[in-house]
Amino acid sequence: MGIPASSKYVIIGAGIHGLSTAYHLALELKAAGKGSGEDIVILDKSGIASGASGIACGVVRNNYYQPAMRELMAHSVDVWESDPETYSYHPVGYMQISCESMHEDISEIYEQQRAIGYDSVLIEGEADCDSYMKDIYADWQAQNITSVLHEKKGGYANNTKSMYGLAGKAEAEGVRIISGIEVTGFKRANVASSAIRAVETSKGNIECDYVVIGAGPWVRDFWNMLELPKTVSIKGKDGQTHDGIDMWTFWQLEEGVLNVDPDMFKTNEGKQPPVMHVDTDATLYSTVDGSVIEQNKIWGLYYKPDFHFGGVQGGAMPYPVTTPVDELQLDPYGPASPEWVSSPEFAHMWVSALAHCHKRFEGLMGSYHKEPSGGVGCFTPDSFPVFDEFCENAYILADSNHGYKMIGVGKLVAEHIMGETSELLKPFRFARYEEGELHPNSNSPFPWS
């Protein structure tokens, strides 16, 4: 089948956002009697799950210091829970385990989770935290922990499987997914209007009424194609407007796998463990030679079982990439990249950090999976998503690398396209920078918390 000459809705990117928007838009069109999935095509230059969604650790959590992020995540968790089997979703819960400098932020998150009815438990004080953790894992040994936020909802999903599940649901509604087709530009309606009339691709033009861009880290390229500003003005918390702030920054996400028997990482009761995230200022010693890796600073890690490679998968703090934004080579992406994969320093730190938390992981450096892993993410000026409409008929989902868990955003975007206003998406509008309506910052060492 050739490519269509026109399609009412063209969605770019077969990752979490493109697929979710397509599926939910198909449902909305059908319910409103205004069309069906047959009015929608998804274009991807590679294929389903070939971007960040296909390599994400897959953590689904609510633990955000920013109220708007928490509300959006609670909405997304409802979508994950609506079809756990197809989405390959494991509702094992999530634990944020922190040192004293994060205690106040975490208590606030807990209070606000209670206010929105998101089920979680807060443990405070070093002794109580230690005994709560030992009740779950007898070999727990992390130091300096004074708060544990245990989210009973959330968990993780298997990255590629969930994308294929979502793609199958979209296709069952009549959506067509075309792989191996690269979008290279846009044709405008006329000189007076910025609206998009057609999408230019490596296989010819496709006329359309509306475009959705879910391009993950490649959002930089689409921003340039649409000639949107490379820098922004931000009204800061000091009330002053700061000009010339770069719109995009890339960070390298450091992730890896410890190849051990997955049954080695279970709770005392033999159950699947919750997703674990630990931030602490305790001294971190090497599990290889006992040398000091981190001292007098907060460091963090996250981990969960891995049934694909077999073992435990997770990551640590990302680092900002210094290559100029327009020069950074994104392709080939992820583990296939010759440049942007996790470093040997990461492996040493992460395995040592696992051993800091649980005795069972001591001395296991030799079991670290040596294949390349990790990848880059594209971040906005405040490291929070921009979900907004540009050029009259182009919706951009730029999730600032928060987004695998945000399966519900496509549903909200579909509702927006059908004419509904979303209060949940409003805090993520582009104009917030100019208006100074910024999200609060936490004390976490991660740019995404």
Ligand X SMILES: Cc1cc2nc3c(=O)[nH]c(=O)nc-3n(C[C@H](O)[C@H](O)[C@H](O)COP(=O)(O)OP(=O)(O)OC[C@H]3O[C@@H](n4cnc5c(N)ncnc54)[C@H](O)[C@@H]3O)c2cc1C
Which residues of the chain form contacts with ligand X (CB under 6 A)? 12-18, 43-46, 50-53, 55-59, 182-183, 214-218, 253, 255, 374-375, 377, 397, 399, 401-405
Residue among 57 and 351 whose Cβ is closer to ligand X: 57
Query: What 3 state SS string does 55-103 have?
Result: CCCCEECCCCCCHHHHHHHHHHHHHHHHCCCCCCEECCCEEEEECHHHH
Nearer to ligand X, 130 or 382 (CB): 382
Nearer to ligand X, 100 or 331 (CB): 331
- The single-letter DSSP state of residue 37 is G
State in angstroms the smallest separation of the CB of 222 from ligand X.
7
DSSP states of 181-217: --EEEEEEEETTEEEEEEEEETTEEEE-SEEEE--GG
The rounded distance, in Å, linking the Cα atoms of 407 and 275 is 18
Nearer to ligand X, 111 or 182 (CB): 182
Least Å from the CB of residue 324 to ligand X: 19
Write down the least CB distance from residue 399 to ligand X, Å: 4
Shortest gap between Cβ of 275 and ligand X (angstroms)? 9
The least CB distance from residue 19 to ligand X, in Å, is 7
Type of residue numbered 196? I
Q: How far is the CB of 386 from ligand X (least distance, A)?
A: 12
Q: Which residues contact 429 (CB under 8 A, 6 or more apart)?
A: 386, 387, 388
Distance CA 407, CA 78 (A): 9
Please say which residue, 12 or 149, places its beta carbon nearer to ligand X: 12
Q: Which of 132, 128, 59 is nearest to 94 (CA)?
A: 59
To which H or E segment does residue 107 belong?
helix 103-115
Identity of the residue, 374 or 427, whose beta carbon is nearer to ligand X in the bound complex: 374
Q: Output Rg (C-alpha) for the chain, integer angstroms.
A: 22
CB of 306 to ligand X, least distance (A): 12
Q: Which of 94, 33, 386 is nearest to 223 (CA)?
A: 386
Closer to ligand X by Cβ: residue 108 or 221: 221
